[in-house]
Chains A and B, each alone.
Chain A
Amino acid sequence: MNSNLLILPAIVPFVFALVMLWLRGREGAARYLALLSGVIQSIVAALLFKLVLSEGTQTLEIGGWEAPFGITFVADLLSASLALVTSFVSLAIALYISVEKDEPITHPFTLPLLQLLLSSVYGAFLTGDLFNLFVWFEVMLITSFVLLSFGDAKQAIGGAIKYVLLNLVSSVLFLTAIGLLYGKTGTLNFAHIAARVGHLSNEPLLIGAATLLFCAFSIKAALFPVHFWLPASYHHTPAFVSATFGGLLTKVGVYAMIRTFTLVFPLQGTWLQTALWIISIATMLFGVLGAASQMNFRRILSFHIISQIGYMTLGLALWSPLALSAAVFYLLHHIIAKTNLFLFGGLAARLCGSDDLRKQGGLYSSHLPTAILFLIPALSLAGMPPLSGFFAKLLVLQAALEAHSLISVICMLLVGLATMYSMIKIWSEAFWKPAPADAVRPSNRTPSAGAYLGVAYLALFTVFIGVGAGYVFPICERIAGELLDQGCYIHAVLGER
């Protein structure tokens, strides 16, 4: 069953990027195009999600070449829901910048590049081909490199260099893994590899390839101790760019990890599972410690990304249907909440004239609606019911309890408390504290309707995922079921062959 719907999420922003590039220099037009693109992406992604939800995994054999030979796009429920969430993010960011003339677009290439970034994220989520995944990763990386270096401050360039070199290592390892895997299996299609790996066990090459993929994806997902590139770079870009980064980039790494280590190399019972467990715990702890030590709005958020990634990979490492569905739930929740928080980081910085919490303040009294909207993602991230983060944490916690993993439970609780601490720190400094005397006084201009719409749109989903957990979680359970049943994926892609 081929449906071009699968490629559309990736290709729509791509085409819009091209149009924007042709119209470069016309910033106003680009803003509206971004909005239009966001709307179309949402529609397409929603249609795709609906299709997959009702009719199961969909595939698209690109170029019309049948499955293992050409590149196949595969939308199982996981991919489709991630694409859907990505389209939410895309639309929210487009809203945020659409009519927000206060949000300066630093460079004429920024908006088209953002579209290309989205395109590559969709591509990475939907492709069913290992090498094609690599290509999407590279597109994503180079786009983010370029977006980072637009900052042009010394720190921005420094951050960009770190980002480039560390991710380069990841790419080399990824390529090496592809080489090894191709040498052994002679194929690149995920399903086909999985089918062939199924016959072989304990082959040195496969173990090597699995390990290399593990390393490569760890770097992309910013797991401890290979997370350094993330906090070094994320806060140098305009808010809506770091929101996209913070929401999506690392999550693509997590997605790749989930896909690879359920479909191709099921983690269960391997030493990698133990390794992932240890790494996840360390990631959770170190991320949150990093956040506690910071006094910069967006840097706190950056460190929190790391810590939260730990929860997701912990879900993968615990390896039970519940744990996997919890990890997926966490993934969906986190993309939305984190993007939103980064947008607030931008708003706060603009209203107070600084990103530094010490120089911010007084927003609670001067900008009440902003403050209330901020609380939704912030409390969600800190795990307050009934927002999405509460259920995400609750589910991982229950999975850990069921796995009798006492250490995981304790660490999760400590990290949860520390997360609460740093969210409250932001609240207390930026919102409650009176604006410091020497700082620029908070501007009395309210953010424009567009910015409010953007953040409110995402906040709505945060609330929905929480209140509607009874609806969202069964989907995650279905996803976990699909992930654990490799045969189902393989069959959907390769048919009876």
Chain B
Amino acid sequence: MIIASFIGLLYIAGFYLLLRRSLVRAAIGALLLGHAANLLIFVSGGLSAGAPIIREGEDSLISPYPDPLPQALVLTAIVIGLGVSAYLLALIHRTAEIAGGDDMDDLKEEE
């Protein structure tokens, strides 16, 4: 329940920040959204103590164990998120350099 509300909160905060005109805020929002989605995948596998590591000498995990698959997915998602956010940072940096500001609407063009 609490975790669900927390994820929800992250979504709200993320979306809200995304809607700000400041690009840096939008980027932070994007990161928060990433956290939210990752957490969701993580908890969707169920929560359990222990680690998905097979003990030395055993052949398989001993129940109860946390679902390893969502962990792998989240790991992948985190890394992809890293790539995208680093790129976003550079892009914002470049935008600031070119447009001289942080406002999204500085980029408004004739469309």
Binding site for B on A (CB under 8 A): 131, 135, 138, 141-142, 145-146, 149, 154-155, 157-158, 160-162, 164-165, 168-169, 171-172, 175-176, 178-180, 182-183, 188, 231-232
Contacts and interface: CB of A to CB of B under 8 A. Distances in A.
Nearest to B109: A155
Given A155-B109, A161-B91, A168-B88, 9 more contacts: A135-B76, A135-B80, A138-B84, A149-B94, A157-B107, A158-B109, A161-B95, A172-B30, A183-B44
A150 to B, nearest CB: 11
B71 to A, nearest CB: 12
Interface in B63-104: 69-70, 73, 76-77, 80, 83-84, 87-88, 91-92, 94-95, 98-99, 104
Contacts of A188: 69, 73
Contacts of A158: 95, 99, 107-109
A179 B37 contact: yes
Contacts of B94: 149, 157
Nearest to A69: B69
Given A142-B83, A145-B87, A172-B36, A165 B18 contact: yes
B23 A182 contact: no
Contacts of A176: 36-37, 40
Nearest to B70: A182
Interface in B41-74: 41, 43-45, 69-70, 73
A175 B77 contact: yes
B45 A182 contact: yes
A131 B91 CA distance: 27
B33 A172 contact: yes
A178 B73 contact: yes
Interface residues of B, number: 36
B37 A175 contact: yes
A154 B36 contact: no
B35 to A, nearest CB: 10
9 contacts: A145-B87, A145-B91, A149-B94, A154-B98, A157-B94, A165-B18, A179-B40, A179-B70, A183-B43
A142 B73 contact: no
B95 to A, nearest CB: 5
Interface string B17-43: 010000100100010011011101101
Given A135-B76, A165-B30, A172 B91 contact: no
A-B complex: 7 closest residue pairs judged by Cβ atoms: A183-B44, A158-B107, A175-B37, A179-B40, A179-B41, A179-B44, A172-B33
Interface of B: 14, 18, 23, 26, 30, 33-34, 36-38, 40-41, 43-45, 69-70, 73, 76-77, 80, 83-84, 87-88, 91-92, 94-95, 98-99, 104, 107-109, 111
Nearest to A132: B76
B98 to A, nearest CB: 5
Contacts of A149: 91, 94
A183 B34 contact: no
Nearest to B67: A186
Nearest to A178: B41
B88 A164 contact: yes
Nearest to B42: A179
A227 B109 CA distance: 17
A183 B30 contact: no
Contacts of B34: 172
Contacts of B84: 138, 141-142, 145, 164, 168, 171
A160 B107 CA distance: 10
Most chain B CB atoms below 10 A, which of A138, A155, A175, A188: A175
A49 to B, nearest CB: 31
A164 B84 CA distance: 9
Contact of A146 (B36, B45, B87): B87
B90 to A, nearest CB: 9
Contacts of A168: 30, 33, 84, 88
Nearest to B92: A161
B55 to A, nearest CB: 22
A164 B45 CA distance: 29
Contact of B104 (A160, A161, A231): A161
A354 B40 CA distance: 49
Contacts of B76: 131, 135
Contacts of B41: 175, 178-179, 182
Contact of B26 (A135, A141, A145, A165): A165
A183 B47 CA distance: 11
B76 to A, nearest CB: 7
A338 to B, nearest CB: 20
Nearest to A205: B44
B45 to A, nearest CB: 7
A160 B91 contact: yes
B24 to A, nearest CB: 12
Nearest to B26: A165
A324 to B, nearest CB: 31
Contacts of B104: 161
Contacts of A142: 83-84, 87
B52 to A, nearest CB: 15
B88 A154 contact: no
A16 B67 CA distance: 37
A474 to B, nearest CB: 40
A165 B104 CA distance: 11
Contacts of B69: 182, 188
